[in-house]
């Protein structure tokens, strides 16, 4: 009986190679599409804008599309932007690389150092034990309580990144204590509820996020209209604050369901038998002083990034033993730092080219405002600010929209306060993680995937757009805003 002769090794190798090539092409088609659309947008824009603005338009689409779809590692579009911008000279080098001397960049760096120090000294285990007693053993209860505690933290620590730096390493340790693996829904859900809980609802608390403070500062500087803490809170917190807290909880429990944890007793036993170590005391002292400076920045006017950098430098002193000797080499996620610098640099390039102002002016001329419908006009203003946020990120909304407030009052017929505060509904509603530094920090410190964070962003965006914002219109009408 004849046997079938084995297929030659060369043929097998060629077959496997063909399969790999086909699979690679299949995986890369979104990237090819983004490249083609970026070039097309640049060519079309060159017919209506200056060459500089056309090049920026193409680069903007490429970066945003790449970050939003995660077809490339997050650092690659940032490095490509630096290379493209310097070769084409679409902006001076100090503008292109402005992210590296930005306070936000160094605040992110210091956050990574703090996280490494908290883990290295074992302080995370101690706080984890105390927190586990409060949260209990229910996954659903843990997600709810973490989101609530994270939001409450915003009343005491005004820096969103500072809160992320404080809470994410502790929650990561707590997830380990509960037995959730790195890729489990339970771990992702706990980290996401803490990150979004201390970030998304707190746009309704005046000093709690950067866009809030930028809006307040520009309103006072341009129109001599300082924002009242209580009035801002009463206008935004009942709907945008509590509503977004609910949105975060629902989104996390829906997207990342998991079983109740089974906590071990190892941390509990160790915590009960030992007191604070010398390293823990030193770290607590450094963090306490750092947070005190962050909390009082309105008095000393030292940027949170430089305070964080000073504290991180002290944490890295070898003699103190607060971090591992290889912390800088192995403990820092440089890819996330490149990502952050790229986002900041892109915003600076857009501002330098004037593309952001062109977008706002274009939208205000083509959007069909109606003098007979205040609610429609308010919705359209929110839409314009949301579009702006996709291009220049969340802090760019008050930077571009606030100077146009009086003009928008004239064409919409809304009150000055209504036009000014409409920005809050937009910058409290990010669609993608790249739009905001606190979420980038959470991704870095919590080792979260951009895909997981994007899912929650999209879910909360949809919930806010179709449920919370209409309810907020009714609340504003009740408050006499229009």
Q: Are residues 286 and 328 in the same domain?
A: yes
Q: What confidence score (pLDDT) does residue 356 get?
A: 73
Quick check: 211 and 227 in contact, CB under 8 A? no
Nearest-CA neighbor of 75 among 390, 439, 440, 446? 440
Q: Are residues 443 and 463 in the same domain?
A: yes
Q: Are residues 352 and 444 in the same domain?
A: yes
Q: Are residues 174 and 231 in the same domain?
A: yes
Q: Are residues 291 and 366 in the same domain?
A: no
Quick check: 202 and 157 in contact, CB under 8 A? no
Boundary (domain end) residue, out of 297, 317, 336: 336
Q: Are residues 287 and 359 in the same domain?
A: no
Q: Are residues 75 and 89 in the same domain?
A: yes
Q: 236 falls in which pLDDT band (50, 70, 90)? A: very high
Q: 27 falls in which pLDDT band (50, 70, 90)? A: low
Is residue 408 in a domain? yes
> Distances from the Cα of 114 to the Cαs of 62, 188, 309, 315, 343, in angstroms?
33, 21, 10, 8, 23
- Residue 453 pLDDT more than 60? yes
Round to whole Å and give the CA distance between 141 and 143: 6
Is residue 366 in a domain? yes
Range of the domain at 87: 29-97
Boundary (domain end) residue, out of 97, 121, 151: 97
252 CB-near residues (< 8 Å, 6+ apart): 143, 147, 189, 192, 193, 196, 456
Q: 246 falls in which pLDDT band (50, 70, 90)? A: very high
Nearest-CA neighbor of 58 among 82, 36, 91? 36
Quick check: 263 and 118 in contact, CB under 8 A? no
Q: What confidence score (pLDDT) does residue 195 get?
A: 94
**Quick one: average pLDDT of 361-372?**
81
The label of the residue with tokens 């105390």 reads: 130
Q: Are residues 265 and 386 in the same domain?
A: no
Nearest-CA neighbor of 93 among 341, 376, 272, 349? 349
Quick check: 464 and 242 in contact, CB under 8 A? no
Sign for the CA dihedral angle at 152, 379, 255, 451 comes to negative
Q: Are residues 165 and 178 in the same domain?
A: yes
Round to whole Å and give the CA distance between 84 and 338: 15
> Distances from the Cα of 156 to the Cαs of 15, 130, 309, 376, 477, in angstroms?
62, 20, 21, 37, 30
Q: Are residues 37 and 139 in the same domain?
A: no
Could you give the dihedral angle defined by the CA atoms of residues 442, 444, 449 and 455, in that order, rounded to the nearest 10 degrees?
30
Boundary (domain end) residue, out of 295, 311, 336: 336
Is residue 200 in a domain? yes
């Amino acid at each position: 009986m004849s046997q079938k002769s084995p297929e030659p090794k060369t043929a097998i190798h060629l077959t496997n190679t063909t399969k790999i090539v086909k699979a690679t092409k299949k995986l890369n088609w979104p990237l090819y599409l983004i490249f083609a659309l970026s070039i097309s947008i640049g060519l079309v824009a060159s017919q209506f804008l200056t060459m500089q603005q056309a090049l920026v338009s193409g680069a903007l689409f490429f970066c945003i599309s790449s970050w939003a779809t995660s077809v490339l590692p997050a650092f690659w579009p940032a490095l490509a932007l630096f290379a493209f911008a310097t070769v084409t000279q679409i902006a001076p080098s100090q503008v292109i690389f402005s992210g590296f001397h930005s306070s936000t960049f160094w605040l992110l760096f210091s956050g990574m150092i703090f996280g490494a120090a908290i883990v290295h000294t074992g302080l995370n285990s101690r706080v984890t034990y105390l927190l586990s007693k409060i949260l209990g053993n229910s996954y659903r209860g843990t997600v709810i309580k973490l989101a609530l505690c994270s939001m409450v933290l915003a009343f005491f620590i005004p820096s969103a990144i500072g809160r992320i730096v404080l809470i994410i390493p502790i929650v990561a340790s707590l997830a380990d204590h509960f037995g959730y693996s790195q890729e489990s829904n339970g771990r992702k859900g706990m980290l996401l509820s803490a990150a979004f809980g201390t970030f998304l609802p707190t746009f309704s608390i005046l000093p709690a996020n950067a866009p809030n403070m930028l809006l307040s500062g520009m309103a006072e500087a341009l129109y001599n209209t300082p924002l009242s803490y209580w009035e801002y809170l009463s206008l935004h917190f009942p709907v945008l604050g509590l509503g977004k807290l609910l949105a975060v909880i629902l989104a996390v429990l829906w997207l990342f369901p998991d079983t109740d944890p089974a906590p071990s007793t190892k941390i509990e036993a160790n915590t009960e038998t030992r007191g604070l170590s010398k390293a823990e005391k030193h770290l607590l002292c450094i963090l306490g002083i750092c947070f005190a400076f962050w909390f009082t920045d309105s008095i000393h006017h030292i940027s949170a990034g430089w305070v964080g950098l000073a504290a991180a430098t002290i944490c890295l002193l070898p003699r103190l033993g607060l971090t591992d000797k290889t912390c800088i080499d192995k403990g820092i996620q440089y890819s996330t730092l490149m990502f952050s610098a790229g986002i900041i640099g892109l915003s600076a390039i857009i501002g330098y080219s004037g593309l952001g102002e062109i977008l706002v002016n274009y939208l205000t001329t083509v959007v069909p405002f109606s003098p007979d419908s205040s609610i429609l006009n308010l919705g359209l203003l929110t839409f314009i600010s949301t579009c702006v946020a996709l291009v220049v990120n969340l802090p760019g909304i008050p930077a571009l929209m606030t100077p146009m407030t009086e003009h928008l009052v004239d064409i919409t017929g809304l009150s000055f306060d209504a036009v000014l505060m409409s920005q809050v509904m937009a910058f409290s509603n990010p669609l993608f993680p790249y739009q905001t530094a606190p979420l980038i920090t959470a991704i870095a410190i919590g080792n979260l995937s951009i895909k997981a964070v994007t899912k929650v962003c999209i879910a909360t965006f949809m919930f806010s757009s179709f449920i919370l914002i209409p309810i907020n219109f009714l609340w504003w009408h009740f408050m006499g805003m229009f």
